[in-house]
A and B are shown apart, each in its own frame.
Chain A
Amino acid sequence: MSTPTPSEQVAPGAGIDPRGPRFVAAVTAVVLAIALLTGSIWVLALQVAVFAIGAAFGVSASPYSWAFRTFVRPRLSPPSEREDPAPPRFAQGVGLVVTGVGLVLALAAVPYAVEVSAGFALIAALLNAVFGLCLGCLMYLRIVRLRRSPLLSR
Chain B
Amino acid sequence: MLFPRLVSEIVYRIGALLIVVVIASIVGVLFTRRQGRARTVGSGDVLAVGDLGLPSGQRLGERATLLQFSSAVCSGCRQARRVLGDVASSRPGVVHLEIDAQNRLDLARRLSVHSTPTTFVLDGAGQVGARLTGAPSPAQVHEALALAGIAASREPNHPTPSARHKEEV
Residues of chain A at the chain B interface (Cβ within 8 Å): 8-10, 15, 18, 33, 36-39, 80-81, 83-84, 115, 119, 122-123, 126-127, 130-131, 133, 149, 151-154
Interface stretch, picked from B19-27, B89-97, B160-168, is: B19-27
Q: Is the CB of B73 within 8 A of A83?
A: yes
- Neighbour of A152 across the interface among B20, B31, B105, CB < 8 A: B105
B28 at the interface (CB under 8 A from A): yes
What total count of A-B pairs have CB within 8 Å? 71
The 4 closest A-B pairs by CB, nearest first: A131-B28, A126-B24, A84-B73, A151-B109
Contact, CB under 8 Å: B71 / A8: yes
* Selected A-B contacts with CB under 8 Å, 16 pairs: A36-B13, A36-B20, A37-B13, A37-B14, A81-B78, A119-B16, A122-B20, A123-B20, A127-B27, A127-B28, A130-B24, A133-B31, A149-B105, A151-B109, A153-B114, A154-B112
Write out the residue numbers on chain A whose beta carbons fall within 8 Å of the beta carbon of B108: 151-152
Residues of chain A lying within 8 A (CB to CB) of residue B75: 18, 81, 83
The one of B32, B102, B109 in contact with A131, judged by C-beta atoms closer than 8 angstroms, is B32
Q: Which residues of B contact A153 (CB under 8 A)?
A: 114
- In the complex, the chain A residue whose C-beta lies closest to that of B101 is A152
A129 nearest in chain B by CB position: B24
Which of B21, B24, B105, B109: most chain A CB closer than 10 A? Answer: B24
Q: A8-B71, A81-B75, A154-B112 are in contact. Are A33 and B17 (CB under 8 A)?
A: yes
The complex places the Cα of A151 from the Cα of B13 at a distance, in Å, of: 47
> Is B72 an interface residue when CB atoms closer than 8 A count as contact?
yes
Not counting A81-B78, A115-B13, A126-B28, a sample of 14 additional A-B residue pairs whose C-beta atoms are within 8 angstroms of each other reads A8-B71, A9-B102, A10-B72, A18-B75, A36-B13, A38-B13, A123-B24, A126-B20, A126-B21, A130-B24, A151-B108, A152-B101, A152-B108, A153-B114
